[in-house]
Structure 1
């Protein structure tokens, strides 16, 4: 009998080893499959560009640019879109698969329906085309900028740092522009504004998110009757979200379809807010019927608005940031076909499709890593905290647009996550309202571990390692992309 037991133990160990080997094989297979699919997508885009351009002048340049633009779009999907759905996934309001599906559809819809049909050929006025020698120089400059930005975003995704794709392409254009036409070719006041946005974007996002979380804690969470407080205030918060996103979409997406100024966008947002409040008030009251007086019930009330916010953020991102992938590509296509550098270029539909599909495919294939980083690994999020992050992203972009400040949606969203985490650290240690509530409700199942007189009053709720990694990546994005782009331009101009 002992012998039989020994044989069973040996067999169990062998089967366990086989299972581990199979699991490792599956992991390796998945790791090889995704880059392979990405290469197939890039190749398909290049072949499609060949059929579109035919025997047009410098068609080989257009084909190469299409492949590079597809690579850039994949990287934007892998890195940038995480900010839109990461909080919803981290708070468990959405599953990873649900988030990927919603974001992929909304990103593509935003890019194809409301994506910019006209973009500046040199990314926000960083380089004056008049200072460039000829169209060949311009094409090499834009190609270098596109490749360097894509490579930098790819590297940032590998190390787990969400970076600004706008700053990456701006750095690439500036670096290649300096290599092509000297330091004087760069619009340094504009670069100064972009550098200022490194600080402005995350700080604004963090402050706005912290203020909304402070309101939710004060007005709802630490009230004795949470459900009654939620019925009063959640419809108002949802209305503010609807108004903010309506204004955001009007200023950042619909402006590509019709002429809308900030005042008109504000009126659209106000109308959407009032309508949403009228609809959501009875819905929230009905949904909250019979709910327990617990934070768990509050989380359920915030889940659906959070899912809508993730979808709207993705739509607006596709409409606004698709130009980062296909703006330089469109500029190269137009210049190669016409032989002259234009201040503004139209974006062909096939170029827009490459950007939209590339962002969606990049999100599905490579996005989960950064989604987990933003949603789960910086600080712990629940639907209420994630709602504050999403609301902050929309409101901060509107405020920045009103003051003409160039801000990064990536920096705003990640800054909002940091703001929520750091505010929770401060609130846990210093809030008298929180301590009084816990004292009145010592058996409440939702009470968090609170510091007492004999315990430390400070808890770290933000992972400092991720904080430092992300800040460092933000600081070096423009110079790193610029140096790489300058080097690529020098190599290309030598070979050409």
Structure 2
């Protein structure tokens, strides 16, 4: 009797263990999204603690501690939303895994913010609002606080719904809205706003044109050649040299200025030398890698893998230098106002403020970035390593120029503009070859109705992105103005 009951007991035990395993799996599945939120809260708490330890019992410490918390929150949102524009093309082209892209971006973003982020921070914190038009230091502090809160909330909402909005737009709109609420329209530096607005228009167009030009170059001199591999051996090292030269010139101007002052001509010479060295180093590597490859486009995709990874790292460095201003610009203004007892004079950027911005961007990328990386990399238009390289190189060059000039352009506009530029160029090139044919490539004739249906850029995403760009500034300005009025009414 006992012998017959033993199998039933084991079956019952197996069922119970299976139920427990399912409960454990369900618990892990439900708790997984909360891990990122918990780590984010821990980072904000550490940033708040760092500000409290730094200021201690000094006057205005409460303002600085609160601003540090919101600055850390803002940096997390920038990492979750904006960094997708840097690594999305490389991941979409399958040149990098998601994990590899996150590691490279985190390192390069932090390095760019800490080495070369100071000048743009000054533009954000002082160039939009004229401190002389604000009544007192307390009002100025509340205005900067409202800008941080409004921008962070808006970007958080955009990330949640999967929209790659401009964090630069968010911060500039927030500063403008709180400035108008604090001191009226006259407090806004409208010439500075006009220059920034012009850069918003120029940056996506320039990014798209440069990306399309690089793609046209690659198609003409490599893809459409009879011997594609020989053409790639000749031109891929040149493209890598261009990228290395631009990066070296920028680093000479911005990254080493605390050690030695380098003028523009010297920096350009350094860039030219670095580009030449990169060409000499890359040429034999490409030659060795291309040995035995078949003469087809798939082989070219493999040859562009290394340049794409390098260009993605370059873009992340430039993004860290340019967009750290969005996280810590208002925070730097608040710190200066509390330390100096006013808001006149040049704003200096404390190291701990820059560290909050750099680490926040990196943590935001690791915790929440993959969602928008996938969207930018694969849902706007189809990318391969050659197209993604054009996007990354175009965005990197444009962001570097903007950061060098001290203009807070939107890396979102530049990178997404590059993606659109590549997609629209492919549409135009496909139509051109379909009409006229090509002596190198046989083009399948397609009916006009079918060609219209086969658009290479998703128009729904295009319109959504444009709408988000248009709405961001007025939305954050409105939110910031309301937040300022609430803070001023509650604590004044």
TM-score w.r.t. length of structure 1: 0.89
1:120 to 96, 119, 122: 122
Task: Please state whether the residue corresponding to 1:123 is helix, strand or coil.
Answer: helix
> Does the CA contact (< 8 Å) of 2:90 and 2:96 recur in 1?
yes
- Residue 405 of structure 1: how far off its partner (Å): 6.7
Distance 1:404 1:44 in 2: 30
d(CA) in 2 for partners of 1:52 and 1:401? 29
Q: Is the 8 A contact 2:141 2:337 kept in 1?
A: yes
Of 75, 84, 87, the residue aligned with 1:85 is: 87
Alignment of 1:204-243 (within 5 A): 204-243=206-245
Corresponding residue number in structure 2 for 1:393: 395
Contact kept, 8 Å, 2:120 with 2:406, in 1: the verdict is no
> Taking structure 1 as reference, are residues 264 and 24 closer, same or farther at Cα in structure 2, changes over 3 Å only?
farther
* Inter-partner Cα distance in structure 1 for 2:239 and 2:60: 54
Cα distance in 1 for partners of 2:61, 2:404 equals 42
Find the counterpart in structure 1 of residue 464 from structure 2: 469
Q: Which residue of 2 aligns with 1:40?
A: 42
Cα deviation 1:229-253 (Å, max 9, x = unaligned): 1111111111112122223444554
1:121 and 1:345 in contact (8 A); partners too: no
The more displaced of 276-285 and 405-414 is 405-414
Deviation at 1:258, TM superposition (A): 4.5
Instruction: Please state how far the C-alpha of 1:198 moved relative to its aligned partner.
Output: 2.9
Q: CA RMSD in A?
A: 2.7
Distance change (3 Å), C-alpha of 1:305 and 1:58: same
Counterpart of 1:360 in structure 2 is 362
2:104 aligned partner: 102
- Name the structure 2 match of 1:436: 439
1:312-337 per-residue CA deviation (whole Å, 9 max, x = no partner) reads 21122222321221121122122123
Counterparts of 1:287-306 in structure 2, within 5 Å, are 287-306=289-308
Unaligned stretches of 5+ residues in structure 2: 1-16
> For 1:179-204, what per-residue CA distance to the aligned partner results, in whole angstroms no more than 9, with x for missing partners?
11111111222222222233211111
Deviations 1:369-390 (A, max 9, x none): 1111111111111110011001
Tell which deviates more after alignment, 200-209 or 390-399.
390-399
Residues 385 and 195 of structure 1: is their aligned pair in 2 closer, same or farther, counting only changes over 3 Å? Answer: same
Deviations 1:405-448 (A, max 9, x none): 76322211110001111111111221268643333xxxxxxxxx
- 341-350 vs 383-392, which moves further: 341-350
Task: Give the C-alpha shift of residue 271 in structure 1.
Answer: 1.7
After TM superposition, the structure 1 = structure 2 runs for residues 366-405 of structure 1, keeping only pairs within 5 Å, are 366-397=368-399
Displacement of 1:118: 8.6
- Give, in angstroms, the shift of residue 224 of structure 1: 1.9
Q: 1:246 to 1:154 in 2, by over 3 A?
A: same
Equivalence map 1:146-165=2 (5 Å): 146-165=148-167
- Partners of 1:471 and 1:394 in 2: how far apart? 21
Distance 1:451 1:161 in 2: 36
Tell me, what secondary structure is at the counterpart of 1:344?
coil
- How far apart, CA to CA, are the structure 1 residues paired with 2:285 and 2:107? 27
Q: What does the per-residue CA deviation read over 1:461-486, in whole Å, with 9 as the maximum and x for residues that have no partner? A: 11112111111111122111111111
Q: Hey, what does 2:198 align to over in structure 1? A: 196
Q: How many Å separate the matches in 2 of 1:467 and 1:22?
A: 42
Report the Cα distance in structure 2 between the residues aligned to 1:32 and 1:347, rounded to whole angstroms: 33
Question: Structure 2 length normalisation: TM-score?
Answer: 0.89
Whole-angstrom distance in 2 between the partners of 1:274 and 1:36: 47
Question: Offset of 1:287 from its aligned partner?
Answer: 1.3
Match in the other structure for 2:429? 427
**Does the 8 A contact of 1:262 with 1:402 survive in 2?**
no
Does 2:484 align with 1:482?
Answer: no
Q: Distance in 1 between matches of 2:202 and 2:264?
A: 20
Q: CA 1:247–1:475 in 2, change beyond 3 Å: closer, same or farther?
A: farther
